[in-house]
Structure 1
Amino acid sequence: MQFPVQLIPSLSKGDGTMTSGLIRRALLSVGVIGTGQWLLSDVMHIPGGGLGVAAAAGLWWLARPVKQPSFREPASLKGWIQRCEEVLSQFEQLEAELGLQGLHTPREKELRRIEDFDAPLSLGVVATEGSGLPSTVHLQQALAGVSSLDLCLANPLPVTSRSWSWPDDLQELDVLMHVLSLPLRAADLLWLDQLPADRPVWLLLRSSSDLSAEDHLEALCCQLPERWHQFLLPWSGEALELRGVLQPVRQQLMRSQRVRQGTRQRLLSSLHRRWQAELETLRRERFRLLLQRSQWIVAGVVMASPVPSVDLLAVAVGNGLMVKEMATIWGCSWSAEVLQVVARQLGSAALAQGVVELSGQALLGLAKLDGASWIAAGAMQGLSAAYLTRVVGVSMADWMALNAGVAEPDLEELKRQAPLLVARAAEQERLNLPGFAQQAREWIQDRNSCTPA
């Protein structure tokens, strides 16, 4: 049976509101910290600002044991379509909030194209430079019995590269067959390492003249990850043996409906990752508006609080509500318990790195720029709370960007990454202190203008 041999361009042709539980925890925290503040300040005479006590107590408030839920990527075509439609809704919402138009229709068309993807079943045959491909005629004879199959022969993959990135033209092919000459070269292993785990790929192992492929298999299985062990096709290079060697490939291609469904899911997964990257720019823009609003709400409540213990309510509840809105922006369907765990880890890292103390020192430096505006005694404490909100908010945004809607958030990995996330956010905000100083002056002026004479 003859198959059309397709050549593709880079191939040679041949993506709120506070709960009652949050309110109960916040009220409980206020009572406990109010008593604790009195004991520390009036009885034990231990110095320390209300914000530091508030931050430490905020961690206690968040540190209760919680059940860590598990997440799974969609396991079906219907699940991936539903997930991509959710990302489309996020695009639409963010674009409306930012005043953007005309971007929804092209994305929806792309989603529908993949959903209805119905090109002929395709097999891509590829090799690195120096590894010859079987002839087209021999491949067609070996695959006889598979109906409506496009056989696509790729240009050789280079043995030297900066990116080691597989050509985009291969993405929509249903199955790949990578022809490798034994023994493997370093370039072969690098190209194999770049293939995603969800990609159907067979390895056709062509032996040298002096040793058979079977002689190389034991050593080869030690070189290759276990994922490849069931997809190795040893071949002596003789054309007459090719049909028997490719029998597993033929059997897979004959289950065309299953293969095509897997292709659609893989393409939707790739589309979802790309949309998540595109969403990130819009999310960061929307997040900055939220962060600026939240930090001054927290600062205002801290500055106006009659007793230092109320700072806990402002910081914990204010940042808690910000995190909930951030989860909406990033499309994270995480429970309140997961948000609690993430906030706890980032808060612990912020305290361990002395963000509260460092923010106070930095703001003292800014105070020298315009001493007349720093009249109220609570202004420094309020601004320190705002600065702390910025650092924790930015580190939370970075974590959500890495995990939103793509894969299960690894909370153990968060423990390892939290210090780096906080340090990076603190450095970023330190470099942005002049902008924060200008916002602080405007906030202080607003507060002063609202103060009765």
Structure 2
Amino acid sequence: MAVQLRRPILVGGIALSFGLWLLDTMHQSVAEWGEVGLLGAIALGSGVWLFQKRGSSSVELSVISSPLDRATVEGAIAQAEVAISRLETEVEKSENSTSLRQQVYQLTSQLDRQELQLLVTGGKGVGKSCLVNVLNTNGLSEQFPTVSVQETTALFPGDRTQEMIPNSDLILFVITSDLTDSEFQLLQHLKAQNQRLLLIFNKQDQYLPPERVLVLQQLRHRLAQLFPPEDIIAIAASPTPLKVRQHQSDGSIQEWLEAQTPDVTALTQRLQPILTEDAQQLIWGTTLRSAISLKAEAKTALNQARRDRALPLIEQYQWITAATAFANPVPALDLLATAAISSQLVIELAEIYQQKFSLSQAQSAAKTLGSLMVKLGLVELSTQTIGGILKSNAFTYIAGGAVQGVSAAYLTRLAGLSLIEYFQDQEISEPTAADNPLNLDRLKEKLQTVFQQNQRTAFLQGFVQQAVKRLRLNSASV
């Protein structure tokens, strides 16, 4: 079926220049560390230091987060409502929007709730259940009747902490020895989510007294970027029974195991001011995370719906570009036509993502994409790869422009997908003119990612076959 073109930009455009080798590549070398469980206090300090060195470059955290205020949380709720409203506007009968709308209505009332949720989490065998029992039996529920304590299943694998974060006001993260890489990364993630944490070093009774002091000191020193020292606490929720030996008057010896009293005094003393003085901050923090989570869920659903509308548009333009580049024997005109088509594609994709681009802005964006493809060497690399596939699979060259036609379609697809990824990261708001220029670094990053994702041999072979088939049909109809 013939495509009815009603885009005035197709009359003219700006020339996109393609042709250099790959100038920029990404190099990354990250050491992989497995989970380890060292009992020695010196090894513990060294292990945490290594993990801190790994994470410090990507996560910058202050010891104490800035206090929240009600206005900040209400602003986050309002942003979630905007995202949900956009989803309701653009997607008819969305199942997600109904559920999200009900949840966002509840957030405002959550700001004034009195109940606090305390969560105990950690790896397997760290004593989570024992700690929960001790806290409940040591008068925590009597002193703080509005505080409920629950625990997660063992982390790593089967991590369910992410699911429980929005409903947890305070997390007790329990460890018994050295921090593993997985534990350290999760602590960083939780802190980045503005989650209030206490790091609990349990089973300290299994260390000699001098080692206990050293372990606690090393943890506080190495994790100073994540925790204030008073939030790293050593306890013994279920101390190992002590063997008692008694010599009898008849010369015999009687032995038995004597249970020891749990040592959680340091923890309960730390919890008291937190649960009293910081209760409002804890509630606001949880509400803020819930609002951010709802906004992200709405944005994900909205982006998926927009992507479903954008992909057919990209396919339409990639075949128009292929036919133009294949049929036009003059390279300069090929570039001119391709640029015109690309400019129109930018405008229509921007409309889908509620970001209005003027003609000059669209032309500038198309030129920017072409320039990035040149600098990254994607044009030459793609042309060589596609040419190799055509030859190796004995595809018939319909004419000398076959490689150019298929390559033009492929590059148009890369440009369109990169714009989708770029627009998906933008903030959801009411439709406004795109006054700000494109973030070149961000667009370059998206372009590189999309190129890598679309360089799989199976995909390229299928794409080339589909493109050649369309070029043959277009050639036959001329």
Q: TM range, normalised to the smaller chain?
A: 0.5 to 0.7
Q: Which amino acid aligns with 1:135?
A: L
**Counterpart secondary structure, 1:216:** helix
Equivalent residue, structure 2, for 1:195: 190
Equivalent residue, structure 2, for 1:217: 216
Q: Deviations over 1:155-174 (max 9, x none)?
A: 5x426x33434162453122
Residues 111-122 of structure 1 mapped to structure 2, 5 A cutoff = 111-117=104-110, 119-122=113-116
Q: Which amino acid aligns with 1:219?
A: Q
Once residues 415 and 441 of structure 1 are traced to their aligned partners in structure 2, the CA distance between those partners, rounded to angstroms, is: 34
Residues 67-216 of structure 1 mapped to structure 2, 5 A cutoff = 76-92=72-88, 95=91, 104-117=97-110, 119-128=113-122, 129-131=125-127, 132-133=130-131, 134-138=134-138, 140=140, 144=143, 149-155=146-152, 157-158=153-154, 161-166=156-161, 168-181=163-176, 189=184, 192=187, 195=190, 197-198=192-193, 199-206=195-202, 208-209=204-205, 210-211=208-209, 214-216=213-215
Q: Are 2:100 and 2:294, in contact at CA under 8 Å, matched by a contact in 1?
A: no
Q: Are 2:121 and 2:171, in contact at CA under 8 Å, matched by a contact in 1?
A: no
Equivalent residue, structure 2, for 1:47: none
Deviation at 1:364, TM superposition (A): 6.9
Q: Are 1:179 and 1:203, in contact at CA under 8 Å, matched by a contact in 2?
A: yes
The answer to whether the aligner puts 1:348 opposite 2:379 as a matched pair is no
**Counterpart secondary structure, 1:246:** helix
Equivalent residue, structure 2, for 1:433: 464
Q: Are 1:299 and 1:385, in contact at CA under 8 Å, matched by a contact in 2?
A: yes
Q: Which of 317, 337, 342 is residue 340 of structure 2 equivalent to?
A: 317
Once residues 182 and 380 of structure 1 are traced to their aligned partners in structure 2, the CA distance between those partners, rounded to angstroms, is: 61
The answer to whether the aligner puts 1:245 opposite 2:245 as a matched pair is no
Q: Give the direction of change, closer, same or farther, for the CA distance of 1:54–1:418 in structure 2 (3 Å limit).
A: closer
Q: Which amino acid aligns with 2:140?
A: Q
Q: Deviations over 1:290-311 (max 9, x none)?
A: 1122223434554666853233
Q: Are 2:306 and 2:352, in contact at CA under 8 Å, matched by a contact in 1?
A: yes
Once residues 140 and 266 of structure 1 are traced to their aligned partners in structure 2, the CA distance between those partners, rounded to angstroms, is: 26
**Counterpart secondary structure, 1:426:** coil
Q: Are 1:172 and 1:263, in contact at CA under 8 Å, matched by a contact in 2?
A: yes
Q: Give the direction of change, closer, same or farther, for the CA distance of 1:149–1:325 in structure 2 (3 Å limit).
A: farther
**Counterpart secondary structure, 1:228:** coil
Deviation at 1:233, TM superposition (A): 3.9
Q: Are 1:164 and 1:190, in contact at CA under 8 Å, matched by a contact in 2?
A: no
Equivalent residue, structure 1, for 2:35: none
Deviation at 1:124, TM superposition (A): 1.4
Deviation at 1:136, TM superposition (A): 0.9
Once residues 124 and 109 of structure 1 are traced to their aligned partners in structure 2, the CA distance between those partners, rounded to angstroms, is: 25
Q: Give the direction of change, closer, same or farther, for the CA distance of 1:263–1:241 in structure 2 (3 Å limit).
A: closer
Deviation at 1:398, TM superposition (A): 4.8
Once residues 166 and 316 of structure 1 are traced to their aligned partners in structure 2, the CA distance between those partners, rounded to angstroms, is: 49
CA-atom RMSD in angstroms: 4.6
Equivalent residue, structure 1, for 2:26: none
Once residues 241 and 103 of structure 1 are traced to their aligned partners in structure 2, the CA distance between those partners, rounded to angstroms, is: 45
Once residues 316 and 325 of structure 2 are traced to their aligned partners in structure 1, the CA distance between those partners, rounded to angstroms, is: 14
Q: Which of 263, 282, 285 is residue 262 of structure 1 equivalent to?
A: 285
Q: Are 2:76 and 2:288, in contact at CA under 8 Å, matched by a contact in 1?
A: yes
**Counterpart secondary structure, 1:135:** helix
Once residues 207 and 421 of structure 1 are traced to their aligned partners in structure 2, the CA distance between those partners, rounded to angstroms, is: 49
Q: Which amino acid aligns with 2:168?
A: L
Deviation at 1:270, TM superposition (A): 2.0
Q: Are 2:166 and 2:289, in contact at CA under 8 Å, matched by a contact in 1?
A: no
Q: Are 1:201 and 1:231, in contact at CA under 8 Å, matched by a contact in 2?
A: no
**Counterpart secondary structure, 1:123:** strand
Q: Which amino acid aligns with 2:220?
A: C
Give the fraction of aligned pairs with identical amino acids, expressed as a percent: 20
Once residues 340 and 121 of structure 1 are traced to their aligned partners in structure 2, the CA distance between those partners, rounded to angstroms, is: 56
Once residues 55 and 304 of structure 1 are traced to their aligned partners in structure 2, the CA distance between those partners, rounded to angstroms, is: 18
Once residues 191 and 356 of structure 2 are traced to their aligned partners in structure 1, the CA distance between those partners, rounded to angstroms, is: 25
Deviation at 1:182, TM superposition (A): 5.6
Q: Are 2:386 and 2:464, in contact at CA under 8 Å, matched by a contact in 1?
A: no
TM-score normalised by structure 1 residue count: 0.64
Once residues 204 and 99 of structure 2 are traced to their aligned partners in structure 1, the CA distance between those partners, rounded to angstroms, is: 50
Q: Are 2:201 and 2:232, in contact at CA under 8 Å, matched by a contact in 1?
A: yes
Q: Are 1:87 and 1:275, in contact at CA under 8 Å, matched by a contact in 2?
A: yes
Equivalent residue, structure 2, for 1:67: none
Q: Which amino acid aligns with 2:138?
A: H
Q: Deviations over 1:303-354 (max 9, x none)?
A: 6668532333322332233234434545679997888766643553353652
Once residues 135 and 425 of structure 1 are traced to their aligned partners in structure 2, the CA distance between those partners, rounded to angstroms, is: 54
Equivalent residue, structure 2, for 1:48: none
Q: Which amino acid aligns with 1:176?
A: I
Q: Give the direction of change, closer, same or farther, for the CA distance of 1:234–1:423 in structure 2 (3 Å limit).
A: closer
Q: Give the direction of change, closer, same or farther, for the CA distance of 1:233–1:433 in structure 2 (3 Å limit).
A: same
Once residues 146 and 327 of structure 2 are traced to their aligned partners in structure 1, the CA distance between those partners, rounded to angstroms, is: 73
Q: Give the direction of change, closer, same or farther, for the CA distance of 1:201–1:439 in structure 2 (3 Å limit).
A: farther
Q: Which amino acid aligns with 2:198?
A: W
Q: Deviations over 1:76-106 (max 9, x none)?
A: 334433443443355346535xxx6655433
Deviation at 1:289, TM superposition (A): 0.8
Deviation at 1:363, TM superposition (A): 5.6
Q: Give the direction of change, closer, same or farther, for the CA distance of 1:384–1:207 in structure 2 (3 Å limit).
A: closer
Q: Which amino acid aligns with 1:125?
A: L
